[in-house]
Amino acid sequence: MYKVYFITFGCKVSQYETELLKSCFAEAGFVPADSSADADAVVVNSCTVTGSGDNKSVYAVRKLRRELPGAVIVLTGCMPQASPEAALKVAEADIVTGTKDRAKLPSLVLDVLADRRRIIDISPLSRDETFEEIAYSPTDSHTRAFVKIQDGCECYCSYCMIPYARGRFRSKPLADLAREAEMLAAAGRKELVLTGINIAFYGCREGKRLADAVELCCRTDGIERVRLGSIEPEMMLPEDLDRLAALPEFCPQFHLSLQSGCAETLKRMNRRYTPEEYASLTEQIRSRFPYASFTTDIMVGFPGETEQEFSESMAFAERIGFAKIHVFQYSPRKGTPAAKMPQIPASVKHGRADRMKALGDRLARSYMEGLVGRTVPVLFEREKSEDFHQGHAPDYTLIKISRKNSKKSLRNEIFYVTIEGVGEDCCFGTLTEAPAE
């Protein structure tokens, strides 16, 4: 039996697609390897969102080739799809494929294992591409499952290669989503996270809304929580928020991709909202979800970002009061408009990243301190330590309770916890009765 190992770069969509690939390889008779050193084949699922994403994937392939001369090395995903010429130059990869026809990857690996040769199979994405459905069964036993409901993006933010790697907007049909949600519930998943390249545009070609997908998942027997992955702010309309607010299973954690809190920087990024529109959306959300948390991605060092623009971005992040900020330093991606703009020195980018991260840490702490005294339902997950049970609240705060008073496993169950204190990246509390309605 051949062993396969996976290395994933990039976003939740990449991670979800790796889960699908794992299932496809298991179907084809492969078993998971404990490490790359132990594998007959290693699949590198690449990312291309920035230039550094590309470099990491290529570096990984080259390192694997040096360390594992006999293994089949696969380079797949966004990087070869967006930049086939660059991917073809990665001669260390035995197989190079893009974002299409992923289900046939195990058979390509078997071909190369049987008859050592190089396979290049990158099909261009057509204008009438449909959502690629890959049947799978979960290969892990987690409480939470990601479900990809959407692919493609046509927004063309000036720094991003994703539209070239993923093609046009397309959505998982509701009937397929219903089947997947039922399958995941039957496999013991209690929480679904709806994800995609740009889920705000879910159903835009079919006259559907993201709220349709959320409602369907919330109605699935056995699913107790549904949350959204990262979302672009401009497509969340008041009527969608009203529909989400009517769903008790919906978790009010909003990862609204900001990128910059400065109007001028946003314009150069070709983002489609102003800071004021973003702030107004958070107010509309707060009026419907008083316990909503806001998390986001912020890019620093975008071409032309002045100290004044960066300060505006910092001040805006403070104004929103994010519960968590993922900070990225801009790295130029060849083929995008931003790569041709005047660049910021690396030392300035590092300094700004450090300052934004420090702000993010301070805001996260202050958000968690604001939770002390509240009682929240926690969906408990796999025990990771001898000392604590842990799980997440609806707003995605990590909650830990001591195992001293409760030895039995709480895994995959929802219990109420009163929050009593704050740690580095979590809140601590004790089990309590459900509050009276």
Binding site for ligand SF4 (CB under 6 A): 153, 155-157, 160, 162-163, 197-198, 232
Cα dihedral sign, 109-110-116-120? negative
Kindly list the strands in the beta sheet with 191-196, ordered across the sheet, starting from the edge strand earlier in the chain. Answer: 170-171, 144-151, 191-196, 225-228
Per the document, the length of the chain is 437
Distance CA 262, CA 313 (A): 5
Amino acid type, 264: E
Least distance from ligand SF4 to the Cβ atom of residue 198, Å? 5
Alpha-carbon distance of 314 to 299, in angstroms, equals 11
Q: Considering the complex, what minimum distance in angstroms separates the CB of residue 155 from ligand SF4? A: 4
Cα–Cα distance for residue pair 16/192, rounded to 1 Å: 12
Query: Which residue is listed with tokens 């057509």?
Result: 126
In the complex, what is the shortest distance from the CB of residue 197 to ligand SF4, in angstroms, rounded to a whole number?
5
Sorted by sequence, the CB contacts under 8 Å of residue 90 that are 6+ apart come out as 58, 61, 62, 75, 96
Shortest gap between Cβ of 164 and ligand SF4 (angstroms)?
A: 9
Q: Across 245-323, where does the E strand assignment appear?
A: 253-255, 293-300
Rounded to a whole number of angstroms, the minimum distance from the CB of residue 313 to ligand SF4 is 16
**Nearer of residues 255 and 389 to ligand SF4, judged by Cβ:** 255
Strand order, beta sheet including 31-32: 31-32, 3-8, 41-46, 72-77, 95-97, 119-121
* Shortest Cβ 277–ligand SF4 spacing (Å): 15
Closer to ligand SF4 by Cβ: residue 9 or 25: 9
In the block, which residue shows the tokens 């130059």?
89
Cβ atoms of residues 392 and 295 within 8 Å: no
Residue 377 near residue 341, CB atoms below 8 Å: no
Q: What are the backbone angles phi and psi of residue 143, rounded to the nearest 5°?
A: -75, -35
Partners of 375 in the beta sheet? 418
CB of residue 133 to ligand SF4, shortest distance in Å = 21
Q: Measured from the CB atom, is 11 or 68 closer to ligand SF4? A: 11
When the beta carbons of 162 and 379 are compared against ligand SF4, the nearer one is 162
Specify the residue, 82 or 368, whose C-beta has the smaller distance to ligand SF4: 82
Pick 263 or 414: Cβ nearer ligand SF4: 263
**Closest distance to ligand SF4 from the beta carbon of 339 (Å):** 14
Q: Of the two residues 22 and 172, which places its CB atom closer to ligand SF4 in the complex? A: 172
Residue 31 has φ and ψ, to the nearest 5°, of -115, 150
As measured in angstroms, the least distance from the Cβ of 51 to ligand SF4 is 14
Quote the least distance from Cβ 205 to ligand SF4, whole Å.
Answer: 16
Nearer to ligand SF4, 169 or 250 (CB): 169
Distance of alpha carbon 69 from alpha carbon 60, whole angstroms: 14
Closer residue to ligand SF4 in complex, CB, 59/156: 156
DSSP state, 40?
S
Helix (H), strand (E) at residue 359: helix 346-369
Q: Which residue, 41 or 193, has its beta carbon nearer to ligand SF4?
A: 193
Residue 84 has which token pair? 């086939």
- Determine the 3-state secondary structure of 25 from DSSP: helix
